[in-house]
A and B are shown apart, each in its own frame.
Chain A
Amino acid sequence: MSATAFYFVNAMADENAEIARGLKHRDPDLLDHLIEKYQHRLLRYLVSLTGRRELAEDFFQETWVRVLERGSQYDRRYEFGAWLFSIARNLVIDQLRRKKPVSLVTLADSADNAQAFDIPAAGQLSAFDITVQREQNEQISVGMQQIVPEYREALLLRFQEGMSLEEIAAVTGAPLGTVKSRIYRGLSAMEPYVKGARL
């Protein structure tokens, strides 16, 4: 391991230890900091799970309350983000299961799913390029809502959140092989939409 990599691994371990300590004592300042740090990532993940922004915002608050209540269960050997996402995921599944039996398949089946995501225009592009890019992104966003939710989740965790395969396995509770297969199948399922976006 190079000196830089060693430094980063150590820094991450220290940060995790600090988070674990703070969560155990229910330190409100630490929680404020974590809420700010993970605000966009967590909300994006919840929107991708639920497909509805309002619902995702409710779950966003619930997730942090649960983090507060179960903070002592956080194992500092794992990245905090992965633990946070697994709490959010379990919360969504638990809450929706209480209302009616659901799986991830039924979570995001609403007509306005594609509008849950804001697709920003890229900077330094002409108006035409921006429009084309926005349309392409919208097409891909629609495709994301059409593919199997488990594939979508794996793709989002991998490419939006930049999680490692092991972290995705920890969040979703799926074996590593299944995670790999979901990513591969997800990208394969997205192919027609990418092609469609080019037309």
Chain B
Amino acid sequence: MNGDVHERARMLIALSGPEGVAAEEQSWLAAHLESCPACRQFAENAGEAIASLRMVSVTAGARLVSATQLRVRQRALELQRRQERMWIVAVCCAAVTVCAAVTTLLLWFGFAWLGGWARLDPPVWAVSFVAFSLMPALITGLLLLARGTHLAEGRSSRQH
């Protein structure tokens, strides 16, 4: 019980700071300090430690500050350039999407007209349209696959 009282007093001493301690707690603490030399000693020691802490000074040199400002400005410029590049990429992506949609539509009507002219059944010219549309991707895929296999073979032969 007695230990709790001292601990409470010391906690109040330690936590007295910017927010302060409630008035009734402060008066309780003052009364306790009057009658308790050990807690009074703790308060004095804490006060000295705090005063000493407040005297500790670490100063940043002007060179550090200006170097930091320069680095931050350079990084800001880098980020701005990256953002601008991303903006250009986004605009290009949007333009390509629009162009692809328009081209697909035109091709579809083109195949429909050709199918009608050649008197083909709609499924026939539709399949042709799909094959024609997929052809560039298929060819590119096959070429990349071949190149990948070639590279892998080259690497394994070099290892041997």
Contact = CB atoms under 8 A, between A and B. Distances in A.
B59 A28 contact: no
Interface residue tally of chain A, by bracket?
A: 35 or more
A156 B50 CA distance: 9
Given A141-B56, A158-B17, A160-B54, A188 B10 contact: yes
B48 interface: yes
A159 B46 CA distance: 11
Contact of A184 (B11, B60, B67, B75): B11
A69 B79 contact: yes
Interface in A32-51: 32, 35-36, 39-40, 42-44, 47
A171 to B, nearest CB: 15
Contacts of B59: 40, 43, 118
A195 interface: yes
Contact of B79 (A26, A117, A160, A162): A26
Interface in B45-79: 45-46, 48-50, 52-60, 64-65, 67-69, 71-73, 75-76, 79
B159 to A, nearest CB: 33
Nearest to A120: B57
Interface residues of B, number: 35
Interface in A44-71: 44, 47, 53, 57, 60-61, 64-65, 68-69
Contacts, number: 139
B53 A156 contact: yes
B54 A64 contact: no
Contacts of A120: 55, 57
A183 interface: yes
A194 B49 contact: yes
B14 interface: yes
Contacts of B57: 40, 44, 117-120
Interface of A: 26, 28, 31-32, 35-36, 39-40, 42-44, 47, 53, 57, 60-61, 64-65, 68-69, 116-120, 122, 136-137, 140-141, 143-144, 155-156, 158-160, 162-165, 180, 183-184, 186-188, 190-191, 193-195, 197
7 closest A-B pairs (Cβ-Cβ)? A44-B58, A39-B60, A184-B14, A140-B52, A194-B45, A43-B60, A190-B49
Contact of B53 (A53, A57, A144, A165): A144
Given A28-B73, A31-B72, A68-B75, A137 B45 contact: no
Q: Majority SS of interface residues in chain B? A: helix
A159 B54 contact: yes
B146 to A, nearest CB: 41
A137 B55 contact: yes
A187 B69 contact: no
Contacts of A39: 60, 64-65
B55 A184 contact: no
A187 B19 contact: no
A118 B49 CA distance: 16
